[in-house]
A and B are shown apart, each in its own frame.
Chain A
Amino acid sequence: MAMRVEPLPYRVGQISTGTLLLIVVLLGVVAQGLYAFSRQLTEGLVVTGMRDIGTMGGPAWGLYIAFDIYFVGVSFAGITTAALVRLLNLHALRAVSRLAEVLTIIALILAAFSVLPDLGQPLRGVVHLLKYARPQSPFFGTFTMVIAGYLFASLVYFFLDGRRDAAICAARAGRLQWFYRLWAAGYRDTPAERERHRRVGFWLSLAILPMLVIAHSTLGFVFGLQVGRPGWFSALQAPAFVIMAGVSGVGLLIIIAAIVRTTLEAQDRLTPEVFRWLANFLMVLTAAYIYFMLVDWLTATYAAPLHESRVTSALLFGPYARIYWPSVAALVAAFYLLLRQFLTGRYSIAVTVLCGALVNVAAVGKRLLIVVPSQTHGAMLPYPSGTYTPTWVEYSIIGGLIALGTLLYIVFTKVFPVIELPEARQEMGHR
């Protein structure tokens, strides 16, 4: 069997010049982020645009926390897709399930990394959180659920789900054969094994689904339980976080699927049918989020207490209006395009991808608007209102993280088939 020289599917193991160039550029961006982080470690967080709430007139949380919740939000895609495939037997989405799982895992790694630069004492953070973390703090749920419940569970699911393809890849000679053998862990694709995996997949996705709701809700509770910050204290915060996570996660998944479809020539698997499902799913989630936004908006303008209404007016007409309205416009535009596709029945991958991009722009904007205005304009004592302009350090670190995520994704596509291998190939597995 070591005689086979047929290349691995989906360009696994082949690196073109273009890819190599992209990797070099991404490594450069990561290096720049690391340099910025080193500056921050030596000088302190003074190199960021964040300052103390109150007399210093700044937000204590800025870009890092906004992107942390964005990254955790994006991770929504993987588990949901897996659960839809497993629990509702949506076989149309099988082709994107691994794309989504990789997205989840990488997004969660980025989320964990983006908290570190936010901490004044990152090293202490790692040790003290494991040593002293308190369940009363909303951070407890966030960090334990994200690391243990969500990242680890996703890794387990991902590992088990990839065994069949690993076994197929391991049948061929190559430098990475040991890796595929290790992953396959003795998988031979017997009917018994397939049945066993089906059961495990079902139970795993059933167990991970509540994790998903808990993880995104606790992230919402980080803000929604704070009585001292007008604009945050709201029961709607947790469910809105779950929905917004879905919007950004599915949106990004659509973009990644489209890129993979063209670059890896996977048109036969990532069919328009797949995009139709994702587009409709995104439409429903976007509609739900717009509904939440309207409810929130009505409550905050109709009968809000003094400080609450100050935050709202800063959002709608004040310094944050230039982020708020474009974000709303992007969401509404995406919803309109998706709805039109749904009503006319004419689906276009390009339009769907555009919608995915629009909702992600909106998601970043909305995340920033959840985090910052309540700090700069939500003081309950008559402090002056604050300002926030991120510095090059913050942009570099966030850029570095995004580059790192992209890099990890590209590397993964080069070592493992990122789309589940079709059924026809399965005979190779247990020759």
Chain B
Amino acid sequence: MARYAMVIDLDRCTGCRACMEACKVENNTPRANFWMYVFRFEEGEYPNTRVWFMPRPCMHCDNAPCVKVCPVGARYKRPDGLVATDFDRCIGCRYCEVACPYGVNYFNWKRPERNQYLDWTDAEAAAVLAPYTNGAVPPYKNPDLERAYGPERRRIAGGGHLKGVIEKCTFCVHRVERGLQPACVANCPLFALHFGDLDDPHSQVSQLLRRRSHFRLLEEASTEPRVYYLGGKPPGSDTRQIETIRARA
């Protein structure tokens, strides 16, 4: 059994947000939902300031607060380390969201079609798009995201973006199960993101973690995250975002 982890090299990250883009395209996440998010930080006082960037996927914690509190077992920890959300099980209480110290959970506040960048049920939009799509399924109905995964055969890839359930980064379980890298990792132009098996001593993530000093976010909360950061340091008390996204669903 693999033990998946993500390693993010802060020394390489330039805050281009290509990972956010890749995530949105791959998972068709609704408007204002960022399963992958890149903080753009600054620290210090002028003229001694420092700017740095920190991608924030779901941490897929080993001791995940969201898994503990889920009242119906929709959020669960897979043996390979992925923290999965079964959208057929979720009742939409958002307890996982308030329990998570990292703020990675996104609720589907709207009906799926209304929450996409384009409302495909809108007659006018449909007429414009007809020549290009040939009546294909709308993008938020990506069949890969609808399938059941893992030995327990539960639908955890976040397809459909059903109204009233919680979703978050899946580590692209639909790609990982086929031996592919998560979309954000595969699309990072600077190879700042790495994904692999910690149990394999020759995997890139194992080698990087052996060679370089690293930290995990909010280790004091004893959540045991599976996302490791190389270089830099965790955000401190005077770390502030340069510009903030305030998109509200």
Contacts and interface: CB of A to CB of B under 8 A. Distances in A.
Q: Do chains A and B touch in the complex (CB under 8 A)?
A: yes
B117 interface: no
A120 B98 contact: no
B97 interface: yes
Interface stretch (B67-75, B140-148, B203-211): B67-75
Interface stretch (B5-13, B170-178, B184-192, B239-247): B239-247
Contacts of B94: 60-61, 118, 120
Interface stretch (B84-92, B124-132, B193-201): B84-92
A227 interface: yes
B163 A120 contact: yes
Interface residues of B, number: 58
Contact of B92 (A46, A120, A132, A380): A120
A44 B163 contact: yes
A55 interface: yes
A226 B94 CA distance: 13
Kindly name the residue among B65, B99, B108 whose own CB sees the greatest number of chain A CB atoms within 10 A.
B99
A137 B68 contact: yes
Nearest to B109: A46
Contacts of B95: 137, 139, 222
Contact of A381 (B34, B68, B103, B248): B103
A129 B72 CA distance: 6
A125 interface: yes
A124 interface: yes
A383 B32 CA distance: 15
Interface in A121-146: 121, 124-125, 128-129, 131-134, 136-140, 143
Interface residues of A, number: 47
Contacts of A60: 94, 97-98, 105, 107
Kindly name the residue among A45, A60, A229 whose own CB sees the greatest number of chain B CB atoms within 10 A.
A60
Interface in A377-403: 379-384
A226 B101 CA distance: 9
Contacts of A222: 95
A132 B89 contact: yes
Contacts of B33: 52
14 contacts: A51-B249, A53-B97, A57-B248, A120-B94, A120-B107, A128-B89, A129-B71, A132-B73, A132-B89, A137-B70, A139-B93, A381-B217, A383-B241, A384-B246
A-B pairs, top 6 by smallest CB distance, nearest first, are: A120-B92, A54-B103, A120-B164, A228-B101, A139-B71, A46-B109
Given A57-B248, A119-B92, 4 more contacts: A53-B100, A137-B69, A306-B237, A379-B103
